[in-house]
């Protein structure tokens, strides 16, 4: 059965073909024959016991539903392409009945687009950043004599000297139009301001989009901007942007343009030109592979020209650990940075970076990314290049992380994994118990039919199923601690015998009446011992293999004897 195009579709583990024990290419006559036989077996009117009658009604309904779907060409085509869940998509009843799978797939994609559009109307993507700047220079730059005259002067003075908060939300208008509302607040040493922006983006084609931005703030004033993106070729794209800032000093126009090109599968080259209050020309080379990330950038501007090179190594571990380092030098001085990043939970990434610069000094930057929220804590340690500040900025966060990781993160993640496993076990156990109950009910309903089948087969020395087992078998080479997970399916298989033949189609046996999956996710097989013409034979078949007994060799052997 073909996989669904939508990830939200998960197939029900009940296979209609397996339930009716017919081929995927079964004709309408074959479907009718199997349906009539199962209806006779499970018809509620044949059972007087209230419990058996209730169980028969459930099984009869399942068989009837399977036959209704497979006997209708339109529904069967949908089921073959998208599975049972594909039939539950809203809108099929209003679709003209198509004849070919291609036409049905086209209608399905249309319905999915409408469904996705409804989902877009209800979805927003909030993103936010909180940055708290800490001035801790008093830890290393203070002079003891300056504090002896002040009460409590022996303690270092640490303060928060700046803060920045920004937030944005998306409001999809249609499949091609999106509105973004964003705002920010900043403060530094007691003074600050804020701004609010509204952006509307429209996807014009598969090759490009454009957006209009309107903004207002208490410092820079109103802003009007326009930005466009265009794929020039399969390997090259262009971004252009222009804006007008209405500041207290007058009208301040700006313009920028960037072009990028794929140099190879993992390498991109960028060239950017910017004109306005901070005009510059920048070129950069970025190479990103599975194990590393490298960036080389050169900017020419007055007075902010610089040359920058950075390298990041990605460890191939479960925590997605990365170590990075960079060097940046220009008219403003030189800055060397190094740090590490690691995933600490399913949705959280923690990183620490040490920045050493002239004349900037030493700064420790802590960053926590939690889903779509980012928290930044730049801690300025000293204005000078002090070895002690570099040492504590490097060793301190490492020791702190190791302690927290050992005492908090590991116990939390282990408890979370155990909780998830317990939920999976309960869910799996509940599902297996439900299927087991249905299979046992089906076996009870088969007893009378099986008795008649055995009498008829014995009268002509036909096919008698002596023992049959389905599930995971343990071989001699397997570990002794491993237990077999099998169920007895003698009665269900004997019930399927007709005219001294047992025919099973190429599908999982777990969907057959009276069967269930005793070991979900593990390899299974069918082992049976049967008697034909007074001779016993044993057969082992893989789960999804077709099976036909007695085999031709057994027939010849019986006829010759």
| Boundaries of domain holding 540 | 427-560
Q: Which positions ≥6 away from 265 have C-beta within 8 Å?
A: none
Residue 558: phi, psi to the nearest 5? -70, -40
Rounded to whole angstroms, the Cα distance separating 320 from 404 reads: 18
Confidence of residue 5 (pLDDT cuts 50, 70, 90): very low
Instruction: Express each pLDDT in 442-460 by its tens digit.
Output: 888 888 888 888 999 988 8
188 pLDDT above the threshold of 60: yes
Instruction: Express each pLDDT in 35-80 by its tens digit.
Output: 888 888 778 887 777 777 887 888 888 888 888 888 887 778 777 7
- Averaged over 96-110, what is the pLDDT? 61
Q: For residue 112, tell me if it sits in a domain.
A: no
Residue-level pLDDT at 118? 58
Sheet (strand 525-532) strand order:
485-488, 463-472, 525-532, 535-542
Range name among 17-31, 80-94, 122-136 with the lowest pLDDT average: 80-94
Q: For residue 355, tell me if it sits in a domain.
A: no
Q: What is the mean pLDDT of the chain?
A: 83
Asked whether the whole model's pTM tops 0.75, one would answer no
Instruction: Express each pLDDT in 268-311 by its tens digit.
Output: 999 999 998 889 999 999 999 999 999 999 999 988 899 999 99
Q: For residue 323, tell me if it sits in a domain.
A: no
Confidence of residue 267 (pLDDT cuts 50, 70, 90): very high
Number of domains in the chain: 2
CATH code of the domain containing 73: 1.10.287.110
Asked which of 42, 61, 88 is the last residue of a domain, the reply is 88
Q: How many residues does the structure list for the chain?
A: 561
Residue-level pLDDT at 144? 44
Q: For residue 488, tell me if it sits in a domain.
A: yes
Q: Which positions ≥6 away from 289 have C-beta within 8 Å?
A: 266
Instruction: Express each pLDDT in 143-164 by its tens digit.
Output: 444 444 445 556 778 889 899 9
Instruction: Express each pLDDT in 71-92 by its tens digit.
Output: 887 778 777 777 776 666 554 4
Q: For residue 228, tell me if it sits in a domain.
A: no
Q: For residue 38, tell me if it sits in a domain.
A: yes
Residue-level pLDDT at 554? 54
Residue-level pLDDT at 431? 79
Q: Residue 416 has what DSSP assignment?
A: H
Asked which of 41, 59, 88 is the last residue of a domain, the reply is 88
Q: Which positions ≥6 away from 270 have C-beta within 8 Å?
A: 258, 259, 260, 282, 283, 284, 285, 286
Instruction: Express each pLDDT in 401-427 by its tens digit.
Output: 889 888 887 888 888 888 887 887 777
CA angle 325, 329, 332 (to 5 degrees): 130
Torsion of CA 35, 37, 43, 46, to 10 degrees: 170
Q: For residue 385, tell me if it sits in a domain.
A: no
pLDDT top residue among 12 and 207:
207
- Averaged over 463-475, what is the pLDDT? 87
Q: What percent of the chain has pLDDT over 70?
A: 84
Q: For residue 291, tell me if it sits in a domain.
A: no
555 pLDDT above the threshold of 60: no
Asked which of 53, 88, 123 is the last residue of a domain, the reply is 88
């Amino acid at each position: 059965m073909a996989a669904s195009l939508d990830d939200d579709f998960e197939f029900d583990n009940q296979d209609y073909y397996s339930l009716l024990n017919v081929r995927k290419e079964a004709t309408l006559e074959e479907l009718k024959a199997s349906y009539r036989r199962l209806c006779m077996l499970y018809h509620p009117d044949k059972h007087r016991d209230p419990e058996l009658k209730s169980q028969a009604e459930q099984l009869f309904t399942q068989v009837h539903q399977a036959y209704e779907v497979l006997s209708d060409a339109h529904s069967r085509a949908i089921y073959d392409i998208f599975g049972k869940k594909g039939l539950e998509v809203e809108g099929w009843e209003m679709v003209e009945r198509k004849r070919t799978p291609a036409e049905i797939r086209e209608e399905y994609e249309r319905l999915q687009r409408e469904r996705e559009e409804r989902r877009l109307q209800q979805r927003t993507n909030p993103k936010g950043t909180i940055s708290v700047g800490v001035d801790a220079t008093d830890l290393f730059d203070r002079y003891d004599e300056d504090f002896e005259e002040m009460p409590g002067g022996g303690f270092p003075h640490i303060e928060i000297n700046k803060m920045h908060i920004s937030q944005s939300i998306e409001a999809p208008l249609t499949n091609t139009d999106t509105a973004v509302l964003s705002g920010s607040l900043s403060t530094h040493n007691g003074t600050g301001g804020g701004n609010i922006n509204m952006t509307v983006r429209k996807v014009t084609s598969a090759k490009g989009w454009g957006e209009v931005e309107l903004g207002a703030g208490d410092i820079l004033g109103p802003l009007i901007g326009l930005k466009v993106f265009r794929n020039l070729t399969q390997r090259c794209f262009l971004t252009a942007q222009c804006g007008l800032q209405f500041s207290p000093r007058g009208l301040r126009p700006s313009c920028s343009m960037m072009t990028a090109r794929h140099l190879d599968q993992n390498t991109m080259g960028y060239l950017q030109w910017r004109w306005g209050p901070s005009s510059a020309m920048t070129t950069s080379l970025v190479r990103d592979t599975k194990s590393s990330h490298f960036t080389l950038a050169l900017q020419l501007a007055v007075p902010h020209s610089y040359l920058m090179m950075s390298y990041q190594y990605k460890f191939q571990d479960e925590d997605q650990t990365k170590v990075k380092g960079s060097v940046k030098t220009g008219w403003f001085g030189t800055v060397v940075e190094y740090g590490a990043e690691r995933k600490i939970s399913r949705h959280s990434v923690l990183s620490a970076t040490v920045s050493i610069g002239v004349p900037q000094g030493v700064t420790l930057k802590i960053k926590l990314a939690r889903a779509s929220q980012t928290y930044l804590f730049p801690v300025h340690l000293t204005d000078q290049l002090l070895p002690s500040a570099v040492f504590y900025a490097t060793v301190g966060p490492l020791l702190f992380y190791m302690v927290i990781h050992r005492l908090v993160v590991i116990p939390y993640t282990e408890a979370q994994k155990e909780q998830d496993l317990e939920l999976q076990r309960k869910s799996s156990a509940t599902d297996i118990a439900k299927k087991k109950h249905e299979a046992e009910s089906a076996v009870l309903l088969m007893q009378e039919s099986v008795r008649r089948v055995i009498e008829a087969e014995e009268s002509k020395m036909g096919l008698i199923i002596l023992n049959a087992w389905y599930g995971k078998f343990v071989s001699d080479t397997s570990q002794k601690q491993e237990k077999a997970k099998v169920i007895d399916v003698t009665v269900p298989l004997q019930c399927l015998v007709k005219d001294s033949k047992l025919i099973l189609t190429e599908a999982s046996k777990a969907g057959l009446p009276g069967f269930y999956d005793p070991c979900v996710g593990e390899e299974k097989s069918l082992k049976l011992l049967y008697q034909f013409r007074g001779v016993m034979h044993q057969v082992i078949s893989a789960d999804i293999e077709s099976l036909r007994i007695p085999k031709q060799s057994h027939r010849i052997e019986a006829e010759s004897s």
